[in-house]
Chains A and B, each alone.
Chain A
Amino acid sequence: MPAFDALAVGLTASRTLAVGALFVVFGTLLVATVIADPAAANGSMAEPHRGFAALLRGALLGAILGVGLWTGLQTEAMAPGEMLARAPTVLLQTNFGHLMLLRLGLLAAIGLALAAHRPRPAAALAGLAAALQAAHLHAMAIGHGPSLLLASEVLHVLAAASWLGSLPALLLVVTTARPGAATAAVRRFSVMAFSAVLVIGATAALQAVSLAGEPLSLAATAYGRVCLAKAALFAALLALAVRNQWRLRRGASAAALGGSIGTAIVLAALILALAVILSAMPPPSEA
């Protein structure tokens, strides 16, 4: 039985928190500026827009906390027993540290844009911060500058952030907006979500072709089993989205979708955690 590795667990949790909270910042700003009819912010969408402000504050704080913890624990992983002494070196002289500083700078800029009531620039900054996640993935580490693979990883992360990160804000819309406005918002969200799913599927296929050296023995390795679990959760999330769409077409109210959107948020968090776990595991070809 493998030994319990507190550092690995802490790294997974902090990275999931940092990425998940950043996705929620981006997704909430997308919903606030595109999906939830900003023109009705003082009318039928007044309640959701108040909720967005609280959600954004919480997500920004979560992202800052997650980035801080991730940086500290990653330093400990890179230089065991020397976290405090080596933190400046990690921050100032490694690719990882530069990305973390840039991310913290973007989070501060998002906070300033929100304080100045400029949600669209804040959304653009949040998109940039979310896209930075791709710089932790494989195309950058392989290290040949801009490439189709890097572009696909950026698109993959942005599509995931726009779909999964929007779910908490969507839950606010369906539970607090006036019924007609909520249904219209859910329909707009569906168009965005379907586009995101298409991008996720296409970019995942491209990455599989570019990166998978040889066929993966799915059930035979821990890596393969995590892949399978992630794919199963992804399929469940898609099935939930299809079911919601079907219910809307059959005349269900948007408010009735609250429970399944809550379930979707839990599934999205689990998918994100599994993605983080996978990114730290060597594939079977390397084991």
Chain B
Amino acid sequence: MIPPRRLFIAALVLGTLAGPGAVPGFAHALLRAAQPAPGSLLPAAPAWVRLTFSETVEPLFCKIKVTDATGKQVDDGSLVSDPADRRRLMIRLKPIPPGEYLVTWFATSTDTHRTQGTFRFQVLK
């Protein structure tokens, strides 16, 4: 049997070394994927904007807003979550003409951290 003193010294070394290394690399809901993709040039107008985050999110405390070049909102305002994957959110777009669009999102992860971001996509003529 290993003497308790040696076990304790092993724990001391392990704990002291591992303590600062225990870094939560996924502590906030980060945007992992989007459709349309950020910066994409689309031949046809999309019907939805779909976002996938690194963590599960609380849909009631998340928001996606899509605006055109004049700042006019072009989504229908009703955010939908994917019951099969709580990391996914989507919003339906109104019929949109060619032009540049800005997606602004706010997310609250289930561990309550808030994140936000923006990206643009373009619908070609």
Q: Which residues of A contact B (CB under 8 A)?
A: 74, 77-79, 89, 93-96, 136-138, 140-143, 190-191, 194, 197-198, 200-202, 204-205, 207-208, 211-213, 216, 218, 223-224, 227-228, 230-231, 234-235, 238, 242, 245, 278-283, 285-286
Interface size class of B (residues with CB under 8 A): 35 or more
Q: Is the CB of B26 within 8 A of A94?
A: no
Q: Is the CB of A212 within 8 A of B22?
A: yes
Please indicate the chain B residues that have their CB under 8 angstroms from the CB of A242 in the complex: 8, 12
Beyond A191-B4, A194-B4, A286-B27, is A204–B114 a contact (Cβ under 8 Å)? no
Please indicate the chain A residues that have their CB under 8 angstroms from the CB of B48 in the complex: none
* B79–chain A nearest beta-carbon distance, Å: 14
Nearest-neighbor residue (CB-CB) of A97 within chain B: B58
A selection of 24 A-B contacts at a CB cut-off of 8 Å is: A78-B108, A78-B114, A94-B58, A94-B61, A96-B112, A142-B26, A142-B54, A197-B11, A201-B10, A201-B15, A201-B18, A205-B17, A208-B22, A211-B23, A212-B21, A216-B21, A227-B19, A227-B20, A228-B20, A230-B19, A230-B20, A279-B27, A282-B27, A283-B27
Q: Which of A78, A79, A218, A280 contacts B20 (CB 8 A)?
A: A218
Q: Is the CB of A211 within 8 A of B112?
A: no
A94, A201, A202, A211 interface centre (most CB from chain B within 10 Å) = A201
Q: Is the CB of B111 within 8 A of A140?
A: yes
B73 within 8 A of partner (CB): no
CA distance A19 to B69 in the complex (A): 48
B14 within 8 A of partner (CB): yes
Q: Which of A143, A204, A205, A211 contacts B87 (CB 8 A)?
A: A143
Q: Is the CB of B8 within 8 A of A194?
A: yes
Nearest-neighbor residue (CB-CB) of A210 within chain B: B25
Q: Is the CB of B12 within 8 A of A197?
A: yes
Q: Is the CB of B14 within 8 A of A202?
A: yes
CA distance A94 to B23 in the complex (A): 25
Nearest-neighbor residue (CB-CB) of B113 within chain A: A280
Q: Which of A79, A142, A282 contacts B61 (CB 8 A)?
A: A79
CA distance A144 to B25 in the complex (A): 16
B86 within 8 A of partner (CB): yes
Please indicate the chain A residues that have their CB under 8 angstroms from the CB of B28 in the complex: 282, 286
B56 within 8 A of partner (CB): yes
Q: Which residues of B contact A (CB under 8 A)?
A: 4, 7-8, 10-30, 54-56, 58, 60-61, 86-87, 108-114
CA distance A207 to B26 in the complex (A): 12
CA distance A30 to B23 in the complex (A): 30
* A284–chain B nearest beta-carbon distance, Å: 8
CA distance A282 to B23 in the complex (A): 10
Q: Is the CB of A234 within 8 A of B19?
A: yes
Given A142-B26, A201-B12, A279-B27, 20 extra CB contacts under 8 A: A94-B58, A95-B110, A137-B24, A138-B27, A197-B8, A198-B14, A200-B11, A201-B11, A201-B13, A204-B18, A205-B17, A207-B22, A208-B22, A212-B21, A216-B23, A223-B23, A235-B12, A238-B15, A242-B8, A286-B27
